[in-house]
Amino acid sequence: MIDLRSDTVTRPSQAMLAAMAAAEVGDDVWGDDPTVLRLQATVAERAGKEAGLFFPSGTQSNLAALMAHCGRGDEYIVGQSAHTYRNEGGGAAVLGSIQPQPITNAADGSLPLDEIAAAIKPIDDHFARTRLLALENTIGGKVLPAGYVADAVALAKGRGLSTHLDGARVCNAAVASGQSIAALCAPFDSVSICFSKGLGAPVGSVLVGSADVVESARRWRKMLGGGMRQSGVLAAACLYALEHNVDRLAEDHENAEHLARGLAEIDEVHVQSWATNMVFAEFPQEQCAALEASLKEQGILTQMLYASRFVTHMDLTRADIDMFVSAVKKHFAG
């Protein structure tokens, strides 16, 4: 199968499975799992933070971070298209009693500084207490401009806000921009990093930040049901991914560019943008269902919409991309 729907679809490689099978484990709720402790320390060091905490998912890692920064009746400023606002079931509001204050993302994924400033509420009984600015990098595959991040965080700090980065794909941002993971994480009080996306692990995210934030998040993690036992088998996959699968993300980025250039040759397709491992393209609405079904028959999984997203990852080769592009070409030629 050629699966272009997401970079979450990768299967653990034989070498990763061997590392998982060999993992030394203990009960992590008791703090006894040496592999989890090693993963947390390793990721914290790579991100330039004091401490790390292993989570079963990025959704739970982001939520625990939001709950560590904000209390009941507090508010966080976030992008309309940010994962923590749009794709996490409203967890901050439902489970955290935290009010989101969404702002429309600019085309480059940033939140305009004047709109952040205008959204910060004065201290007044009428208003939720604005406590946190949450950004995402990459967002829609795009790397946030470095100067922008510095300015946004300076603005937040100046107004007494904490800052969180949803860095699910921060490794893609690092490889694409040539900045280190630590440099991309440095401005933020906490960062959530996914291992189940382009890095190819089956499960797992690590939240990094100050010892205080991580300690608070640990309590929320337990309450949210994320305290795991012999989770070293999973942490071993993440350690393997960190060691072997970061630099190779460059290949996924090249394949995304190759895919975008291929689709751009088709008259009926309008490529809107591509960045890191994602391509966004528009297709004639009335053709989408037939095209998706025809691709599926050929072993190619997509989610064909008027505005479609294609994601490259380690289980896709250049030849797979060529096969997809030629199948789309054939569809419109026939």
Nearer to ligand PLP, 4 or 295 (CB): 4
Kindly write down the DSSP assignment for every residue of 181-198, as one continuous string.
Answer: HHHHHTT-SEEEEESSST
Burial of 163 (0-12, 13-18, 19+ CB in 10 A): buried
75 touches ligand PLP (CB under 6 A)? no
Interface pick for ligand PLP out of 3, 74, 75, 136 (rule CB under 6 A) = 136
Which structure tokens are listed for 276?
A: 């890191």
Minimum separation from the CB atom of position 122 to ligand PLP (A): 31
83 touches ligand PLP (CB under 6 A)? yes
205 touches ligand PLP (CB under 6 A)? yes
Interface pick for ligand PLP out of 52, 58, 79, 91 (rule CB under 6 A) = 58
Nearer to ligand PLP, 89 or 160 (CB): 89
Nearer to ligand PLP, 156 or 194 (CB): 194
Interface pick for ligand PLP out of 2, 4, 143, 168 (rule CB under 6 A) = 168
Minimum separation from the CB atom of position 252 to ligand PLP (A): 14
Closest CA to 107 of 85, 76, 80, 88: 80
Interface pick for ligand PLP out of 40, 59, 231, 308 (rule CB under 6 A) = 59
Burial 265-279 (b: 16+ CB within 10 A, else e): ebeebebeebbbbbb
* Choices 126-134, 156-164, 192-200, 303-311 (CB under 6 A): range interacting with ligand PLP: 192-200
172 touches ligand PLP (CB under 6 A)? no
Nearer to ligand PLP, 140 or 262 (CB): 140
Closest CA to 176 of 261, 250, 273: 250
Residues 28-57 that bind ligand PLP (CB under 6 A): 57
Burial of 250 (0-12, 13-18, 19+ CB in 10 A): middle
| Rounded distance between C-alpha atoms, residue 170 and residue 62, angstroms | 14
Kindly report the backbone phi and psi dihedral angles of residue 92, in degrees, each rounded to the nearest multiple of 5, phi listed first: -60, -45
Q: Which residue has the tokens 């994602």?
A: 278
| Rounded distance between C-alpha atoms, residue 95 and residue 109, angstroms | 26
Residue nearest to ligand PLP (CB): 58
Applying CB under 6 A, the residues found at the interface with ligand PLP are: 57-59, 62, 83, 136, 166, 168, 194, 196-197, 205
